[in-house]
């Protein structure tokens, strides 16, 4: 029996490895190409290991367009959006889960009901709003709409509901005001929930394409996805540089994902509860 389990597990691990390599193949090819010399990119049969390895492609890619600028725009926007969304969601979630005030449940139901509204419904009026305020092509337009989320509020509310109340009561008896309870008791206890929402928000914001496309027009305000598009427009034949640039754009989200994996997976399972 024992022997059979070991054999079974070996077969399964071989299967898992084969599938894993298959899934990573496009990304490995991307990495390999990003390190090739220009004339080695298109060759048959395909060359998997670049010879020679040309690290300078990354330098060339970064210098070919204002890449640093795009990258910093993406970082600034994604970090601000994440921070803002987690903060506003946590505050609202605290009020929805712990404080009693008239109209609370009605309001919460309103939040729930809007969670299914497709982004394209609100996008056009939001664009018109920013346009009429002359805020097109500003960081404000890129950041502000992402800072509020009914989904984030809902998720954190569910998380706060699961926390024990004893610590809060003790803090109140010790003379803490409600904002102090929120800051000193609720937030520290909710790190997994906050990290989950932060990971989701960061990835969503980093990959966001349509909204930046709609509200930006100048080079200076372009985020990475848009920067990659103009890169492709200018250097469409230099695939090695294009792949180097694309890979740089992927590295932050791959890192965030690898560091926050367990939160991420938890978040998906929590999100499923809403259905």
Least separation in angstroms between CB 190 and another protein: 15
Write the CB contacts of 13 (distance below 8 Å, at least 6 apart in sequence).
none
Report d(CA 245, CA 224) in Å as an integer. 9
User: Considering beta carbons, is residue 26 or 52 the nearer one to another protein?
Assistant: 26
Least separation in angstroms between CB 82 and another protein: 15
Report d(CA 95, CA 86) in Å as an integer. 14
User: Considering beta carbons, is residue 47 or 63 the nearer one to another protein?
Assistant: 47
Least separation in angstroms between CB 28 and another protein: 11
Report d(CA 169, CA 185) in Å as an integer. 10
User: Considering beta carbons, is residue 43 or 218 the nearer one to another protein?
Assistant: 43
Least separation in angstroms between CB 139 and another protein: 16
Least separation in angstroms between CB 195 and another protein: 15
Q: How many helices (H) and strands (E) does the chain have?
A: 14, 0
User: Considering beta carbons, is residue 54 or 160 the nearer one to another protein?
Assistant: 160
Task: Kindly report the number of other CB atoms within 10 A of residue 89's CB atom.
Answer: 25
Task: Kindly report the number of other CB atoms within 10 A of residue 22's CB atom.
Answer: 9
> Following DSSP, what letter does each residue of 104-128 receive, concatenated?
HHHHHHHHHHHTTS-HHHHHHHHHH
User: Considering beta carbons, is residue 54 or 240 the nearer one to another protein?
Assistant: 240
User: Considering beta carbons, is residue 155 or 203 the nearer one to another protein?
Assistant: 203
Least separation in angstroms between CB 166 and another protein: 18
User: Considering beta carbons, is residue 53 or 121 the nearer one to another protein?
Assistant: 121
Torsion angle, CA of 24/30/33/38, rounded to 10 degrees?
Answer: 160
Q: Is-contact 196 266, C-beta < 8 A?
A: yes
Write the CB contacts of 134 (distance below 8 Å, at least 6 apart in sequence).
none
Report d(CA 200, CA 264) in Å as an integer. 7
User: Considering beta carbons, is residue 126 or 158 the nearer one to another protein?
Assistant: 126
Write the CB contacts of 135 (distance below 8 Å, at least 6 apart in sequence).
141
Least separation in angstroms between CB 137 and another protein: 14
Least separation in angstroms between CB 182 and another protein: 7
């Amino acid at each position: 029996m024992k022997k059979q389990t070991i054999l079974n597990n070996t077969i399964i691990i071989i299967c898992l490895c084969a599938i894993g390599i298959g899934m990573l193949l496009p990304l490995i090819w991307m990495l390999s190409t990003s390190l090739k010399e220009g004339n080695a990119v298109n060759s048959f049969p395909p060359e998997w290991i670049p010879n020679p390895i040309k690290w300078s492609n990354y330098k060339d890619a970064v210098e070919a367009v204002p890449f640093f600028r795009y990258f910093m725009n993406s970082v600034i926007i994604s970090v601000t959006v994440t921070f803002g969304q987690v903060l506003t969601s946590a505050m609202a979630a605290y009020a929805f889960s712990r404080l009693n005030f008239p109209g609370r449940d009605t309001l919460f139901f309103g939040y729930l009901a809007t969670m299914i509204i497709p982004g394209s419904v609100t996008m056009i009026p939001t664009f018109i709003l920013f346009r009429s305020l002359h805020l097109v092509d500003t960081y404000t337009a890129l950041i502000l709409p992402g800072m509020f989320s009914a989904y984030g509020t809902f998720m954190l509310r569910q998380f706060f509901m699961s926390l024990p109340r004893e610590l809060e009561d003790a803090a109140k008896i010790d003379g803490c005001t409600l904002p102090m309870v929120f800051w000193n008791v609720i937030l520290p206890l909710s790190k997994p929930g906050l990290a989950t929402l932060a990971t989701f928000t960061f990835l969503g914001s980093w990959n966001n394409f349509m909204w930046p496309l709609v509200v930006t027009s100048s080079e200076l305000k372009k985020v990475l996805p848009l920067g990659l598009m103009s890169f492709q427009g200018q250097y469409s034949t230099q695939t090695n540089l294009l792949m180097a640039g694309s890979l740089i754009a992927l590295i932050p989200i791959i890192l965030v994902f690898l560091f926050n994996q367990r939160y991420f997976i938890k978040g998906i399972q929590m999100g499923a509860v809403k259905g």
